[in-house]
Amino acid sequence: MKYDFDRVVERYGTYSAKWDSIRLLMPPTDKPILPLMVADMDFRTAQPILDAMHRVADFGMYGYTAAWAEPEYAASVVRWFRQRFGWEFGPEAVVYSNGTIEALNCAVRTFSNVGDGVILCRPVYGHFTQAIEGECHRRVVDCHLLCDEAGRYTVNFEELEALCADPANRIFVLCSPHNPIGRVWTKEELRRMAAICRDHKVLLVSDEVHCDIRRRGVVHYPVASLVSDQSNIITLTAVNKSFNLAGLQCSNAIIPDPFLRARFQREFGDRMPTPFAVAALIAAYGQGGEWLEQVNEYIDGNIDFVLDFLKQNLPWVKAGRPEGTYILWLDFSASGLTDAEIHTRIYDKALVLAQDGVVHDPGQGQCFQRICVPCARSVLAEAMQRIAAEFTDIKR
């Protein structure tokens, strides 16, 4: 079927963290506030998923649920990654989690000690820092990404090697595809990262929740699929980003190595999904491919729209075209304004809620803004027009 992503869906009154929170966090205003800060979609999910959850709702019983009690749950995950990514693993490797950060926290607590270093490549998803430092009481060690004149980011492999060689640093958390810069790492980059971690006995935790959201022609490679030795690799996956199901709290850790998995599960215990999550995942990975192809095409169009808009109206704002995710990382530093002044113009005057770059890069994220673009193009157009209107005095 053909899905209509141009339709503006009213989300107020649906307990939305993205929309309903505005009324609690922002002062009252007659002008609608447009949130672009949360990585979920303003699109209705695929019809087969809706049908599956209706069947669960109509059954009328919502007792304790176990993912392992339905063999098709893990089998669906196995087939999806085999067919779309060529990655082979058995159903026993699939460990259900309520969320990616929950699984990340377990990995950090299981395979490191309080005060140990956990390596991140900033700028990177800000909740990683909160989880590692605030929830697990470890230290974030920044192997900062390199950025060339064209705005393309790469890994500083020499620094990564040195940091992994330090026995105080026990874990490397990779974001693949990378949020917020949108890199989809090449085979060569991933193999080199995996080899460095293996050589220095560092656990590699690869967050691949955005793996299905990528530009046409771009290929994502699960890092574990590229190496023969997976004894130090945990891959975090989810239907959340791919099918707009974050509210169902349905994620999976893929841990092929039995000894690594056993240690993880001893700490993690048994998590219980809702019956809606089980039904939604099976439907998404079984029948959601058509919707996913269409939503990727629409997101590609949204990204091209924003980049074209910036070129015509705010040419001094630097923004690379992301290879994956539905996120744009915008550099406003050429404005000559302070980080606080940029924030005031976008948030308080334009009434567009983006996300300050320092959330994802406390040291070097000043004057950057992260925006998420999976919404109706008319909403995105209004948001960009509002932002541009607040910077008409900037001539570069």
Classify 13 in phi/psi space as left (phi over 0), alpha (psi -120 to 50) or beta: left
Structure tokens, 56: 């669960």
Instruction: Give strand ranges (E) for 36-116.
Output: 94-97
CA-closest candidate to residue 227, choices 81, 74, 75, 88? 88
Query: Using 50, 70 and 90 to split pLDDT, how confident is the model at 42?
Result: very high
Q: Which two tokens stand for residue 12?
A: 């107020």
Cα separation, 191 vs 206, whole angstroms: 13
DSSP 93-154: GEEEES-HHHHHHHHHHHHS-TT-EEEE-SS--HHHHIIIIIIT--EEEE-PPEE-TT--EE
Phi, psi (5° rounding) for residue 82? -70, -50
pLDDT in tens, 50-87: 999 999 999 999 999 999 999 999 999 999 999 999 99
Q: What radius of gyration, in Å, describes the C-alpha atoms of the chain? A: 21
Tell me, what's the pLDDT at 150? 84
Q: How many C-alpha atoms does 342 have within 13 Å on its Cβ side?
A: 23
Strand-pair category, 117-120 with 169-175 = parallel
**How much is the pLDDT for 44?**
98
Interior/surface letters 365-380, b for 16+ CB within 10 angstroms, e for the rest: bbbbbbbbbbbbbebb
pLDDT in tens, 173-223: 999 999 999 999 999 999 999 999 999 999 999 999 999 999 999 999 999
pTM of the model: 0.97
pLDDT at 30 over 90: no
For residue 190, what pLDDT is reported? 98
Tokens describing residue 325: 């995710």
Residue ranges of domains in the chain, CATH in brackets: 22-46+290-389 (3.90.1150.10), 49-287 (3.40.640.10)
Q: pLDDT value at position 149?
A: 86
Strands 368-372 and 94-97: unpaired
